Structure 1
Amino acid sequence: MRRRHRRLEASADLDITAFLNLMIVLVPVLLLGMVFTQIRMIELNFPGMEAGEAPPTDQFRLVVTVIPDGLEVADSDRGLIEVLPAKEQNQDYEGLRTVLQQIKSRVPDKTDVILEVGPEVDYQTLVTVMDTVRSYSAVVAASVVEAELFPDVSLMDAEEGRTLAARADAANGEGA
């Protein structure tokens, strides 16, 4: 009878030294990176009134309507102030900033604005309009500062399929 000789097989040890070195370097770098990230938040106020409550008739309520066709600036009681049509699929943020600066110079105590947003408006457009409505860059004493426009932003849904109003005719005395 023949004996079978078994070969002794040794199990290979896993060498994880390189992996551990990578983890020792990677974990602190990722933790330090978290310190430098900044999250920006915009506080929103949602308009609403108690049942039976009516707004004062002499109060100026500024409404900025955002739809893909363009922007409208209006007083909810007195009507349309300015129409800013979109140019090549881009909203006229500079025109909006100029109109709001003129309104702020006439009504300096006003801090709230209502954004009426259409359902087709994308998120980036909404955030850019919110930033435009809240403040603008101004030069004061040879340094650039953020000047306040209307920091109290409220959101509201615009009706679906809303189109841009006709441009106010200054010759007929319409608009501001």
Structure 2
Amino acid sequence: MRRRHRRLNSTPELDITAFMNLMIVLVPVLLLGMVFTQIRMIELDFPGLAKGEVPDPDHFRLEVVLVPGGMRVADSERGIIRSLPLREGKQDFAGLRTTLQAIKQRMPEKTDIVLRLGGAVDYQTLVTAMDTVRSYPAVVAASVVEAELFPDVSLGDAPDDLRISAVTDHPLTGGRP
């Protein structure tokens, strides 16, 4: 007679200890390696008048024209306030800040400015110009704070053939070069 051997049908247990150890180490390493970014929004307006709106002749409209050859601060209706050519191959943001501070001292209620950009101006220069026209570092009560210049920034196009030459004095800047 033949014997029948019964095979035991049992399911083996999975040993996932090694996998769990890997996950315990891998998850914190991946979390530490993540780059957390902060997104800042700057509200912008585009220059121009609404349909049917007539410009006020006594309204002072401050604009900064930014081209690869330099910058120019002007009143859009009355002319150039100050020209800032490149200084050592770079834009003169310190001179721009000084000029805007002088204008802000004479017109503290003014908050808007138009930033006109030439076609070849790179993104980093645009961001630096926007930061420069919006505020400047000031010392108040022994701590450095951001003082407001012209936070309401509008963007526009500058003429491509514009050349920035020597520094121009104007009564609004107090005769500063």
The amino acid that maps onto 2:32 is V
Structure 1 SS opposite 2:53 = coil
Answer whether contact 2:63 2:76 (CA < 8 A) is retained. yes
Match of 1:24 among 11, 27, 40: 27
Partner of 2:104: 104
- Residue range with higher mean Cα deviation, 47-56 or 120-129: 47-56
What is the TM-score of this pair, normalised by structure 1? 0.79
- Which whole-Å CA distance do the structure 1 matches of 2:80 and 2:94 have between them? 18
CA drift at 1:120: 0.6
CA drift at 1:156: 0.2
Partner of 2:51: 51
- Which whole-Å CA distance do the structure 2 matches of 1:146 and 1:26 have between them? 37
The number of residue pairs the alignment matches comes to 158
Answer whether contact 1:74 1:81 (CA < 8 A) is retained. yes
Equivalences for 1:83-122 in 2 at 5 Å? 83-122=83-122
Structure 2 SS opposite 1:113 = strand
Partner of 2:75: 75
Q: What do residues 50-109 of structure 1 show as CA deviations (whole Å, max 9, x unaligned)?
A: 233221110000010000111100001110000011112210011000000000000000
Structure 2 SS opposite 1:129 = helix
Deviating above 3 A after TM superposition, structure 1's stretches of 4 or more consecutive aligned residues are 15-23, 26-31
Q: Check 1:28–1:69 CA distance in 2 against 1; reply closer, same or farther (3 A cut).
A: closer
Gap runs ≥5 in structure 2: 1-17
Gap runs ≥5 in structure 1: 1-14
Partner of 2:10: none
Partner of 2:139: 139
Structure 1 SS opposite 2:109 = coil
Structure 1 SS opposite 2:168 = coil
**What is the aligned-residue RMSD (CA, Å)?**
2.5
The amino acid that maps onto 1:45 is D
What is the TM-score of this pair, normalised by structure 2? 0.78
Equivalent pairs: percent with the same residue? 54
